Structure 1
Amino acid sequence: MDMAKTQLNVRVDEDTARAARERAMARGVSVNRYIEELVKQDAGELGHTFVEAAADFMKQYETVFAEEFGAEREGRR
């Protein structure tokens, strides 16, 4: 299923615009597609980094959480 497209206007300097056009052309995609893929990649990397950090945190403090909240959780069931 395709998501609806929204127009987004941005202003960049001419060097950035030229680089975007050149890189998009080298990849055989439109500038719109190139920018969209960059944003999705960046968002995915940030999301992945956050999830990894959260998992590491939970693993590191798993026993603390279990000691602090384990009995309460069992009592509520």
Structure 2
Amino acid sequence: MGKKQLNVRVDATTAEMARERAEQQGISMNQYIERLVQQDMGESGRAFIDAAAQFMKEYETAFLAEFGDSGELQDVRR
């Protein structure tokens, strides 16, 4: 996948903190920002899966009443 250039503006303190953290980790500022975004997306994905599992748990009885227990719905608690 190719790289895309982004231009962002942050205050001087934020820029310095980001530069220091990247340096501490031995990576470039670009790599540091890329990791932060990927980490954020991973957390969002996990939050979605957790919310979907909770929804299915809460409404399991309603789904079974509507569609029956034909085995078509898999147990999401596994």
- Match of 1:50, SS? helix
Query: Residue 22 of structure 1 corresponds to which residue in structure 2?
Result: 20
What's the CA shift string for 1:19-62, capped at 9, x where partnerless?
Answer: 11000000000000000001110111111011111111102211
Task: Quote the Cα distance in structure 2 between the aligned partners of 1:6 and 1:26.
Answer: 25
Percent identical pairs in the alignment equals 63
Residue correspondence of structure 1 range 1-77 to structure 2 within 5 A: 3-70=1-68
Q: Where do 5+ consecutive residues of structure 1 fail to align?
A: none
Instruction: State the TM-score, normalizing by the size of structure 2.
Output: 0.81
Task: Quote the Cα distance in structure 2 between the aligned partners of 1:70 and 1:16.
Answer: 55
Bigger share in helix: 1
- Which residue identity lines up with residue 26 of structure 2 in the other structure? G
Task: Quote the Cα distance in structure 1 between the aligned partners of 2:45 and 2:54.
Answer: 14
Give structure 1 regions of 4+ aligned residues with deviation exceeding 3 angstroms.
Answer: none
Instruction: State the TM-score, normalizing by the size of structure 1.
Output: 0.82
Structure number with higher relative contact order (C-alpha < 8 Å, ≥ 6 residues apart): 2
Compute the RMSD of aligned alpha carbons.
1.7
